[in-house]
Amino acid sequence: MNFVEELRWRGMLQDIMPGTEDELNKGMVSGYIGFDPTADSLHVGHLTQIMTLIHFQRAGHKPYALVGGATGMVGDPSGKSAERNLLSEDVLNHNVARLEDQLKKFLDFNCDTNSAEMVNNYDWFKSFNFLDFIRDVGKHITVNYMMAKDSVKKRLEGETGMSFTEFSYQLVQGYDFYWLWKNKDCKVQMGGSDQWGNIVTGTELIRRKDSGTAFAITTQLIKKADGTKFGKTESGAVWLDPKKTSPYKFYQFWLNASDDDAKNWIRIFSLKTKEEIEAIEAGHTVAPHQRALQKALAEEITVRTHSEEALKTALKTSDFLFGNGSLEFLKDLDNEEVLEVFDGIPQYSYAKSDLADGINVVDLLAEKSAVFASKGEAKKMIQGGGVSVNKEKVTGPDQLYNTDDLINGRFIVAQKGKKNYFLLIAD
Per-residue pLDDT tens digits for 325-362: 777 778 778 888 888 778 778 899 999 999 988 999 99
Percentage of the chain beyond pLDDT 70 is: 96
Q: How far apart are CA 321 and CA 412, in angstroms?
A: 14
Q: How far apart are CA 52 and CA 12, in angstroms?
A: 9
Mean pLDDT, rounded, for 359-367: 92
For the 3-219 domain, the top CATH level (class) is alpha beta
Average pLDDT, the chain: 89
Residue-wise pLDDT for 385-405, tens only, equals: 999 998 889 999 999 999 999
pLDDT confidence band for 81 (50 / 70 / 90)? very low
Q: How far apart are CA 92 and CA 73, in angstroms?
A: 8
DSSP per position, 386-413: -EEETTEE---TT-EE-GGG-BTTTEEE
Domain extent listing, the chain: 3-219, 232-325, 347-426
Mean pLDDT, rounded, for 196-217: 95
pLDDT confidence band for 154 (50 / 70 / 90)? confident
Residues of each annotated binding site: 32, 169, 173, 232
The secondary structure of residue 35, as a DSSP letter, is E
Residues of each annotated binding site for L-tyrosine: 32, 169, 173
φ/ψ (deg, to 5) at 35 = -130, 120
CB 238, CB 231: distance < 8 Å? yes
The pLDDT score that the predictor gives to residue 331 is: 79
Q: Give domain 347-426's CATH superfamily.
A: RNA-binding S4 domain (3.10.290.10)
The pLDDT score that the predictor gives to residue 106 is: 96
Cross-strand partners of 232: 237
Residues serving a catalytic function are 38, 43, 46, 80, 84, 173, 194, 229, 232-233
Q: Is the pLDDT of residue 92 over 60?
A: yes
CB 368, CB 382: distance < 8 Å? no
Q: How far apart are CA 234 and CA 332, in angstroms?
A: 29
The pLDDT score that the predictor gives to residue 262 is: 96
Within a 10 A sphere around the Cβ of 355, how many other Cβ atoms? 21
Structurally, at CATH architecture level, domain 232-325 sits in Orthogonal Bundle (1.10)
Residue-wise pLDDT for 13-71, tens only, equals: 999 999 999 999 999 999 999 998 888 999 999 999 999 999 999 999 999 999 988 87
Q: Is 262 helix (H, G, I), strand (E, B) or coil?
A: helix
Mean pLDDT, rounded, for 170-177: 92
* Long-range contacts of residues 384-393, Cβ cutoff 8 Å, at least 24 apart: 386/416, 386/417, 387/361, 387/414, 387/415, 387/416, 388/414, 388/415, 389/361, 389/364, 389/413, 389/414, 389/415, 390/327, 391/326, 391/327, 391/415
pLDDT confidence band for 76 (50 / 70 / 90)? low
Residues of each annotated binding site for ATP: 232
Mean pLDDT, rounded, for 83-95: 75
Q: Is 28 helix (H, G, I), strand (E, B) or coil?
A: coil
Mean pLDDT, rounded, for 301-307: 96
